[in-house]
A and B are shown apart, each in its own frame.
Chain A
């Protein structure tokens, strides 16, 4: 899809207020129009769009469970469960029962703040990571039971985010140690281990890596960092699609000079648009460049929305349902719903 022909703008649809502290993270439910947000106010809010008025309202507040900041949330692929990761060192699992969300399980084990949680594509595995430098893999069992099947050591510092590959059961983590690590299971032994580390020597980041996101095909990945750059990585898609096991990732390009403060979030849309949220309160959009120049840039800045929020943006997430709908979360305590629309 060639976006350079279209005149696009980011239109603010609605501003969601309610949280009393920084909003750290957002997650769109994969099967319904629910949006989950989590905050320094120790709660998780579930937002729903009313079919009649098309405006968003807060459907539920999940409180009195976590005792510190809730840092990250993720819906299971079926949309039935929500996992929430907290600075209180636990991960809570919530289920929609009737009209209420109930906490059906609490995962303990990390020594300190849990930073991120992610479900694999089939919903059979959950991953969490923490300032304790470890990544944990949990198996989902009947009756909302979760069994820890692996504790992965390797990062030398605080692990900021974990993200499963969209197709394969391969886990990616990024850290305060400036690296991205890739974890896969040994064919026979069910042992998880680190199969690759993307560090400075592989053209990797030179400061904390805050987030990573995959393109829909799963053969490209974007990472963003405190080093003020966004990097694109790719893998051999033929090997990947043939299911012939793990193929290494390599650096494709670095987008530098576009951000002058830490980039906290990057999310790749179904149409191939990369959205970033940064500490300069702006949202930026990058797309593949179709200039065809021999040494030309591979990706270019398509649009920049300055002062999208009054403070740092911690998370940007494309909607799972509609192509051009985006949500952003900020230190200012608000969430904004945006539409990337043609200029009328």
Chain B
């Protein structure tokens, strides 16, 4: 898998001022999209900026149906052919894994029209068997872990 920078000059947006919120989403607390968004300050695998700054993710891209226990997250890869779209999706899954009550169902998709292989990326990201196998692959797992934890150093 090549890790060379494909998008060397991304458009970077100013980071919005954010009020600190607790990260506790467990139990009886209502699931607030804004809280989910706070959690998702991930490092884009190829850039030292957060996903928000690269406009990959914004608050509007998270919808929660609390009654049914369903969450839909849509993200926008920085360029149409972003080869890291599936890795970003995996990072999102791992990051969110323990933040919801176990019965919540999380679907992750690229926002419509934002990726050349939209259907193919969405299908992989929502095939839990494929996701589980990918996360058992040491190389992929390491990449995901680096993306998730390097900005916490």
The finding on whether chains A and B are genuine partners in a shared complex, rather than unrelated, reads yes
A110 CB within 8 Å of chain B: no
Cβ contact within 8 Å between B129 and A311: no
B101 smallest CB distance to A (angstroms): 9
Contact of A69 among B102, B105, B133 (CB under 8 A): B133
Q: Dominant SS at the A interface? A: loop
CA–CA, A208 and B122, complex, Å: 13
Report the interface size class on chain B. Answer: 10 to 19
B contact patch SS:
helix
- Contacts A208-B127, A312-B128 given; does A281 touch B103 at CB 8 Å: yes
Tell me if B136 and A176 are in contact (CB < 8 A): no
Docked-complex contact B136 and A87, CB < 8 angstroms: yes
Collect the chain A residues with CB atoms within 8 Å of residue B136's CB.
Answer: 68-69, 87
The yes or no answer to A12 lying at the interface (CB within 8 A) is no
The CA-CA distance from A200 to B149 in the complex, in Å, is: 43
Q: State in angstroms the CA–CA spacing of A311 and B103 once bound together.
A: 5
B4-34 CB mask vs A (1 if < 8 Å, else 0) is: 0000000000000000000000000000000
In the bound complex, do residue A115 and residue B103 qualify as a contact, i.e. CB atoms below 8 Å apart? no
Q: Is the CB of A115 within 8 A of B129?
A: yes
Q: Are A113 and B133 in contact (CB under 8 A)?
A: yes
Give the residues in chain A near B103, CB-CB below 8 Å.
281, 307, 310-311
| A261-B105, A279-B105, A310-B103 given; A131·B133 CB < 8 A | yes
Measured CB to CB, the nearest residue on chain B to A210 is B129
Task: Decide if B3 is an interface residue (CB 8 Å cutoff).
Answer: no
Q: Verify A311–B102 contact, CB threshold 8 A.
A: yes
Which residue in chain B gives the minimum CB-CB distance to A309?
A: B103
A40 an interface residue at 8 Å Cβ cutoff?
yes
**Known contacts being A281-B103, A311-B103, is A69 close to B130, with CB within 8 Å?**
no
A133 in contact (CB, < 8 A): no
Question: 8 closest A-B pairs (Cβ-Cβ)?
Answer: A68-B136, A113-B133, A87-B133, A310-B102, A311-B102, A310-B103, A87-B136, A311-B103
**Sample of 21 A–B contacts (CB below 8 Å):** A40-B132, A68-B133, A68-B136, A69-B132, A69-B133, A69-B136, A87-B132, A87-B133, A112-B133, A115-B129, A176-B123, A176-B127, A176-B130, A208-B123, A226-B127, A279-B105, A280-B105, A281-B103, A307-B103, A310-B102, A310-B103
Interface of B toward A, CB cutoff 8 Å: 102-103, 105, 123, 127-130, 132-133, 136
